[in-house]
Structure 1
Amino acid sequence: MSPGRWKPPSAMGVKVRTFGIVFDSEELSSYSSGDRVAGQVLLEASEELAVSVLRLEAKGCARVHWSDSPAAPGAPAAPRYRDEVVYLHQQQILRQAPDDQGYFILQTGKHEFPFTFHLPQGGKYGSVQYWVTAILERPGVSDQVVKREFSVTSQIDVNVPYFLSSVSKSKEKTIGCWFFTSGPISLSAKIERSGFCNGEAIPIYAEFENCSSRLIMPKAAIFQTQTYLANEKTKTFRQVIANVRGNHIASGSTESWNGKTLKIPPVNPSILDCSIIRVEYSLAVYVHIPGSKKLMLELPIVIGTIPYNSFGSRTPSICGHFNMDMSWLQLTLPEQPEAPPNYADVVSEEDLARHFPSFPQADGLEHEFGSSTFAYIQEFRFQPPPIYSEVDPNPTLSEEVQHEVSFEI
């Protein structure tokens, strides 16, 4: 045996005190495609250590596997389905023995071996496992392995125009059979955009009308649908991750949701570009009907990673909600409108503060006049100003009138 191949006993059986992997960006919870992943393999030896090679493996893949329901006793085994897509497989030699020797010596103490690699561009990631493995090969001793997982997600920007478009649906259902049918139950729902991120609240706009004879309950829920594909077979798992309900709706009554919120809990982002795994989300607005199947609408949503920026999208979103046509203002304006007199010139500031009436809210105006607020404004917009008079039409009262304000919850 040549002197270079001799393995010193004192260096062969030494225990490794510390063997681990540390990433440079430990505070980063997840990486994206194309990112640089860097870190160090940490090793601490209590004595001199003989090492053949220290190598690093970085892997990432999507795996699916399931089997059908167990077959009856004596029947053939139920088929199993399995598939795998590899996204990342890299190997690096961090330190190895010279060609003419079977080992190299690491001195007593702590050692750091840096590594770096890049994730592939355009990867399809999600509930896919990614990990880094460091393998320490020593002469005459079993290999030591340390493994460290990390998360990789595709960046989904919810500010792209497609995710900023509103989504709406309507549906109707009649309860009963043959000649014993009741009136229909109708449902319409709308969301201003389809892209959201974890922690956001989804404003829901919905109209419920109960023309049946039953007491119904409006509800909403966020569904997560996981789809797995292997051997041309599909396995689907669906679950509710958040829900909210409204008030009971009696027969002949209606209810409106004007932005009722449903908060998104911490969940994985949508996976839309993996060939064997898909994770999709939807907002379901539905009506629970006693003794009958629910009436349900599903609006597709996407859970992204780049949060919504309201500055560039708020104005179109609000205008889209009210769906106003402002052209009637131009039709009603005269060519040369005459400016009315200044009210402050004929009424003192004290009288103005004491007698200026409080305007009702928009909902109150609609209820009082039985039509939309904008129609009311259009009708009385250009009435002539009051006739000037030397007599104060609002004489000062000797006693102040106190108004009580109450709030109903």
Structure 2
Amino acid sequence: MSAIKSLTVTYDALNEYGTFSEGDTVTGKVILALSKETAIESLFVKAKGDADVHWTKRNGDRTYTYSAHNRYFKLKQFLIPENTKDTVLPQGTHVYEFHFNIPPGSMPASFKGSHGKIVYKLEAKLSRSWRMDHTVEKEIHFVSKSFPNLQSLMSHQAGSTNKEMGFFSKGNVHMDVMLDGRAYAPGKTMSIVAKINNSSSSEMTPKFSLIQDVVYRANGNTKHEGNVIHKVVDHCIKPQTQKEVTVAINIPCGLMQTIQNCDIISVEYHLKVYLDISFASDPEVMFPVIILPPDLAPGPHHGLVAGPYPAGAVGGPSYSDFPPPAVSMGPYPVGAVGYPTNSAFPPTAISMSPYPASAHSGSYEYLAPPPVYPYTSSVNTGPPGVNPAHMSGCYSNPVPQLPSPYGGPSPFSSSSSSSSVLHPPPTAQTFHPRPCAPSAPMMNTDFLSQSEEAPPAYSILFPSSATEKSDPK
């Protein structure tokens, strides 16, 4: 009977998805159960990440083998150090804790395919003198957060195609397609709108396909795989007909995320919208699609447009009847009194308003204008957290807003941290009642007296004619 009853390794989850990313810390335990007193030479645990590809190709009578390997990191921690003399452990269960810091930097997500894999795992190994080593492994699910320019993934995509019909048909067909985003998480839905003008004599059927492309690379050669993840077929469009087709495609849960940062394996997606025409080549529009991990996918908290107003606009939804201001295009500041402006004119517009001077504070300003700061650039960057490149519907004379119930612009920035720790959004500001409007603005020139003294009597200014003495004739 073996003295080693069991050897197991476990790790602690960092989030609800049980995933790890660049820069995270992996903590866990190695549990060793002994049926009797045992001498141990060493016990250690390793964390490592590796990518491997392998396939064969037959050409005539010869078979060629292609393989490649990438190692991203390997960390090792001794739980029972190696000694010249064995360590004797008593009978029972022994628990050893460990922790590893995953290195920062760009590393691909976990992947398993028909010709390759990317695997991150923990491995515990027990060594004894003159005995076989005991080894146990535990895979960890790794997701990459190395996606540059994350803000650009929230914009819509549009494309069009036009086809002149050939020998078997007359006329032409035109199709405009709009996709509501560039990046999606598993379990989310992508929306497609296609406007089709069939000015031909042929029938055609709109079709929509989400396709996965996997490429393996080794020894200067490539191996391709294509998989249709989801396909939608709409109704046939008759000749000389116009039609608008709206389709929703659900991203399957558990779908592999996009991999673009591995030298030997890449996983990419695209949406193909095409018109199936008999006896003719099919006109098509292709859109690249990025599949992100759930906690990294753009949403309302990452700046996507969640309503009719620009993403990240100061104040968000408000109690005002006026459209919300975006990045200032005129000489006045946006959102907060005192924010630096590039204009050479003093920002006096908000000082005349009875509304709060700042959308993110409980203070009010009526008369005192904010300080003027020297400008440093010819471009107005707007308030913190707002990217002018993604603003639309700007107003040259923005109307001040009441404090936002959401507490201001999103705390997330376009360059996501590799850390998976999620910071809670700022708490909503306390609602302050709207103050009474000031009686009148202050003016530098005293055009009229604003004294509280009673005005002079009418009889003094304009004497009555009855009391005047007429001139003698």
**Fold agreement, TM-score > 0.5:** yes
Work out whether residues 156 and 304 of structure 1, in 8 Å CA contact, stay in contact via their aligned partners in 2. no
Provide the secondary structure at the position in 2 that maps to 1:314: coil
1:208 equivalenced with 2:199 (yes/no): no
Task: Show the counterpart of 1:20.
Answer: 8
Task: Show the counterpart of 2:105.
Answer: 122
Distance of 2:184 and 2:99 partners within structure 1:
33
Classify 1:23/1:116 alpha carbon distance in 2 versus 1 (closer, same or farther; 3 Å): same
Task: Show the counterpart of 1:104.
Answer: 87
Task: Show the counterpart of 1:255.
Answer: 243
257, 275, 279: which one aligns with 1:269 = 257
Mark the runs of 5 or more structure 1 residues left unpaired by the alignment: 1-12, 321-409
1:226 equivalenced with 2:214 (yes/no): yes
Classify 1:295/1:319 alpha carbon distance in 2 versus 1 (closer, same or farther; 3 Å): farther
Classify 1:298/1:157 alpha carbon distance in 2 versus 1 (closer, same or farther; 3 Å): same
Distance of 2:121 and 2:298 partners within structure 1:
31
Structure 1 letter corresponding to 2:137: K
Distance of 2:100 and 2:186 partners within structure 1:
29
Work out whether residues 169 and 202 of structure 2, in 8 Å CA contact, stay in contact via their aligned partners in 1. no
Classify 1:158/1:289 alpha carbon distance in 2 versus 1 (closer, same or farther; 3 Å): farther
9, 29, 32: which one aligns with 2:18 = 29
Task: Show the counterpart of 2:127.
Answer: 137
Provide the secondary structure at the position in 2 that maps to 1:113: strand
Task: Show the counterpart of 2:233.
Answer: 245
Task: Show the counterpart of 2:429.
Answer: none
Classify 1:316/1:164 alpha carbon distance in 2 versus 1 (closer, same or farther; 3 Å): farther
Mark the runs of 5 or more structure 2 residues left unpaired by the alignment: 112-117, 312-473
Task: Show the counterpart of 2:71.
Answer: 86
Structure 1 letter corresponding to 2:248: T
**Map 1:318-357 → 2, pairs under 5 A:** none
Task: Show the counterpart of 2:279.
Answer: 291
Provide the secondary structure at the position in 1 that maps to 2:181: coil
Distance of 1:158 and 1:53 partners within structure 2:
43
How far did 1:185 drift?
A: 2.1
Distance of 1:156 and 1:91 partners within structure 2:
25
Provide the secondary structure at the position in 2 that maps to 1:238: strand
Classify 1:87/1:71 alpha carbon distance in 2 versus 1 (closer, same or farther; 3 Å): same
Classify 1:199/1:226 alpha carbon distance in 2 versus 1 (closer, same or farther; 3 Å): same
135, 145, 149: which one aligns with 2:139 = 149
Work out whether residues 39 and 115 of structure 1, in 8 Å CA contact, stay in contact via their aligned partners in 2. yes
- Give the count of matched residue pairs: 299
Provide the secondary structure at the position in 2 that maps to 1:65: strand
143, 160, 165: which one aligns with 1:170 = 160
Distance of 1:92 and 1:186 partners within structure 2:
63
How far did 1:281 drift?
A: 1.0
Deviations along 1:296-344, one digit per CA (max 9) or x if unpaired, are 2111111112133236432687789xxxxxxxxxxxxxxxxxxxxxxxx
Deviations along 1:145-203, one digit per CA (max 9) or x if unpaired, are 111111111126799321122211111223323xx541112222111321111111111
TM-score (norm 1): 0.68
Deviations along 1:20-40, one digit per CA (max 9) or x if unpaired, are 101122865211011111111
Structure 1 letter corresponding to 2:73: L
Work out whether residues 169 and 201 of structure 2, in 8 Å CA contact, stay in contact via their aligned partners in 1. no
Classify 1:98/1:78 alpha carbon distance in 2 versus 1 (closer, same or farther; 3 Å): closer
Provide the secondary structure at the position in 1 that maps to 2:297: coil
Provide the secondary structure at the position in 1 that maps to 2:202: coil
Work out whether residues 217 and 246 of structure 1, in 8 Å CA contact, stay in contact via their aligned partners in 2. yes
TM-score (norm 2): 0.59
Provide the secondary structure at the position in 2 that maps to 1:249: coil
Deviations along 1:125-156, one digit per CA (max 9) or x if unpaired, are 12210111111111221111111111111126
Distance of 1:314 and 1:222 partners within structure 2:
24
Structure 2 letter corresponding to 1:113: Y
Task: Show the counterpart of 2:44.
Answer: 55
Distance of 1:242 and 1:158 partners within structure 2:
27
Distance of 2:309 and 2:68 partners within structure 1:
46
How far did 1:236 drift?
A: 1.5
Task: Show the counterpart of 1:42.
Answer: 31
How far did 1:229 drift?
A: 1.6
Provide the secondary structure at the position in 1 that maps to 2:153: helix
Work out whether residues 41 and 83 of structure 2, in 8 Å CA contact, stay in contact via their aligned partners in 1. no
Task: Show the counterpart of 1:381.
Answer: none
Provide the secondary structure at the position in 1 that maps to 2:273: strand
Distance of 1:130 and 1:203 partners within structure 2:
34
Distance of 1:145 and 1:117 partners within structure 2:
19
Work out whether residues 14 and 48 of structure 1, in 8 Å CA contact, stay in contact via their aligned partners in 2. no
30, 50, 67: which one aligns with 2:56 = 67
Work out whether residues 206 and 274 of structure 2, in 8 Å CA contact, stay in contact via their aligned partners in 1. yes
Classify 1:86/1:157 alpha carbon distance in 2 versus 1 (closer, same or farther; 3 Å): closer
Classify 1:157/1:64 alpha carbon distance in 2 versus 1 (closer, same or farther; 3 Å): closer
Distance of 2:300 and 2:170 partners within structure 1:
45
Distance of 1:282 and 1:243 partners within structure 2:
12
Structure 2 letter corresponding to 1:91: K
Classify 1:181/1:248 alpha carbon distance in 2 versus 1 (closer, same or farther; 3 Å): closer
Q: Which moved more, 1:232-241 or 1:33-42?
A: 232-241
**Map 1:281-320 → 2, pairs under 5 A:** 281-305=269-293, 306-310=296-300, 312-314=303-305
How far did 1:261 drift?
A: 1.0
Work out whether residues 17 and 44 of structure 1, in 8 Å CA contact, stay in contact via their aligned partners in 2. yes
Task: Show the counterpart of 1:393.
Answer: none
Distance of 2:169 and 2:233 partners within structure 1:
27
Structure 1 letter corresponding to 2:53: V
Provide the secondary structure at the position in 2 that maps to 1:151: strand
